[in-house]
Amino acid sequence: MIDIKFLRENPDVVKKNIENKFQQSKLPLVDEVIELDRQSREAKGKADSLRANRNKLSKQIGALYGQGKRDEAEALKAQVQAQGEELAALEAQEQELSAKVTEIMMTIPNIIDPSVPIGKDDSENVEVERFGEPVVPEFEVPYHTDIMEKFDGIDLDSARKVAGNGFYYLMGDIARLHSAVIAYARDFMINRGFTYCVPPFMIRSNVVTGVMSFAEMDAMMYKIEGEDLYLIGTSEHSMIGKFIDTMINEEELPKTLTSYSPCFRKEKGAHGIEERGVYRIHQFEKQEMIVVCKPEDSKMWFDKLWQNTVDLFRSMDIPVRTLECCSGDLADLKVRSIDVEAWSPRQKKYFEVGSCSNLGDAQARRLKIRVKGKDGKYFAHTLNNTVVAPPRMLIAFLENNLQADGSVRIPEALRPYMGGMEKIAVK
């Protein structure tokens, strides 16, 4: 959420940013919120003036009673009472206007970083760098569920009966591989200085609206019926929520956390061959990383975070590339985002396995995550990034480590988490 003072003083900048994100329908909101803010501040000014006057009159009333001037005191008392009714009306008006201002401000997109390429959607994202040589083997690489089925590693039919489409049973060595990747990613991040955390898997609505836009919430979140609780779509939600309404001493920054959680998503509109199997699903597990830091450090941490994901995938012999997300592909709260994509030998192209985002002070402003520094108080910057999210990551793992005989090689870094296994053999 943008600072209302910034919007008030730079309406043209905010409008240009909206145009760059191809959200022209929101342009009238800038002038609307400026007018509502003016009315709100005017009502507050009148209310403050009335309060000061009432306090002054109240002191005079006490003095008049002490002097025996009862009639004058009663007259002033009636005046105070009348002003009290006017004050109540002004306070109600101020509260209503302030709520409208906040509601609109939460729909106006954050100011994107100048480095972000301008584009309408993800088709205009820009490749930044490749890591590792993408290889297409001489033998045919089957669809990922076909690979898993050769190891008796997946049961989609039973899951469909139990929970519907978008769910799965992972079995045997594939299930073990799934857990091994999560455990390896956990230790990988701990070794890079991050504090490990297992967060709540449900969060309240004020946390949801603090970490994402209303549009994202509607598209992603599952609501618990009869409760003010939502299932998390990613542990970033509850990890950032951990700092809600806090004042952090500057010397305690940065806060660097890595978390494990299951994730639950509606995934509206998923379709096509690449959407079946375990590519786009309603339930999955994930290792995440988040940072809460000083504003001047957020760019540095942004680069560190996406590099962590690249390094993790390369340690498992998976070629990856980074993509700079264009303006139209950025969620409203994001300042900048880089996707990490893994190479698919079967599709002969890259596909997304993680996303790194810098949200500036947008989440901190919504959640009131403040920092007490030597020069005063300010809002922290927040960042998040996917370490690894199997089972989607398993697609890249299986395809890139598949051998001609149908077995799957276990990279050396992962072998301690697989009981020393060097490969998974076909059943």
**Tokens read off for 74:** 């009663």
96 φ, ψ (degrees, to nearest 5) = -65, -45
Report pLDDT for 274.
47
Locate the domains of the chain by residue range. 4-105, 122-424
Q: In angstroms, rounded to a whole number, what is the distance separating the alpha carbons of residues 80 and 61?
A: 10
Can 4-105 and 122-424 be said to share one CATH topology? no
Report pLDDT for 64.
66
User: For the chain, how many helices (H) and strands (E)?
Assistant: 13, 18
The residue among 148, 154, 122, 145 whose CA lies nearest residue 323 is: 122
Q: In angstroms, rounded to a whole number, what is the distance separating the alpha carbons of residues 407 and 61?
A: 92
The residue among 292, 361, 355 whose CA lies nearest residue 329 is: 355
Q: In angstroms, rounded to a whole number, what is the distance separating the alpha carbons of residues 90 and 102?
A: 18
- Average pLDDT of the chain? 91
Report pLDDT for 72.
73
Angle, to 10 degrees, between the axis of helix 392-401 and the axis of helix 172-190? 100
- Tell me which residue has tokens 């480590």: 401
**In sequence order, what are the residues at sequence separation of 6 or more whose Cβ sits closer than 8 angstroms to the Cβ of residue 66?**
none
Rg, Å, the chain Cα set: 27
Are the beta carbons of 216 and 230 closer than 8 angstroms?
no
The residue among 352, 387, 384, 356 whose CA lies nearest residue 181 is: 387
Topology of 122-424 in CATH?
A: BirA Bifunctional Protein; domain 2 (3.30.930)
249 φ, ψ (degrees, to nearest 5) = -70, 135
- Note the pTM of the prediction, 2 decimals: 0.88
Average pLDDT for runs of 10 along the chain of length 427: 93 97 97 95 86 72 70 70 76 90 94 97 96 95 95 94 92 96 98 97 94 81 94 93 97 97 79 63 94 98 98 96 97 96 96 96 96 95 96 93 96 96 92
The residue among 48, 76, 109 whose CA lies nearest residue 332 is: 109
**Tokens read off for 49:** 């003036």
- The CA-to-CA distance between both ends of the chain, in Å, stands at 53
CA quadruple 249, 252, 254, 257: dihedral positive or negative?
negative
The residue among 205, 297, 198 whose CA lies nearest residue 255 is: 297
Give how far the C-alpha of residue 70 lies from the chain's centroid of Cα atoms, to the nearest Å: 63
Summarize pLDDT for 154-195 with one digit per residue, the tens.
999 999 999 988 899 999 999 999 999 999 999 999 999 999
CB-count exposure of residue 366 (10 Å: 0-12, 13-18, 19+): buried
Write the DSSP symbol of residue 221: P
β-sheet bridge partners, residue 293: 381
One DSSP character per residue, 369-382 reads EEEEETTEEEEPEE
Residue type, 338: I
Summarize pLDDT for 57-88 with one digit per residue, the tens.
666 766 666 777 777 766 776 776 667 777 78
Integer CA distances (angstroms), 65 to 4, 16, 70, in order: 46, 62, 6
Which of helix, strand or coil describes residue 343?
strand
- Residues of the chain with pLDDT > 70, as a percent, come to 94
Report pLDDT for 32.
97
CB-count exposure of residue 185 (10 Å: 0-12, 13-18, 19+): buried
Say which CATH architecture domain 4-105 belongs to. Answer: Orthogonal Bundle (1.10)
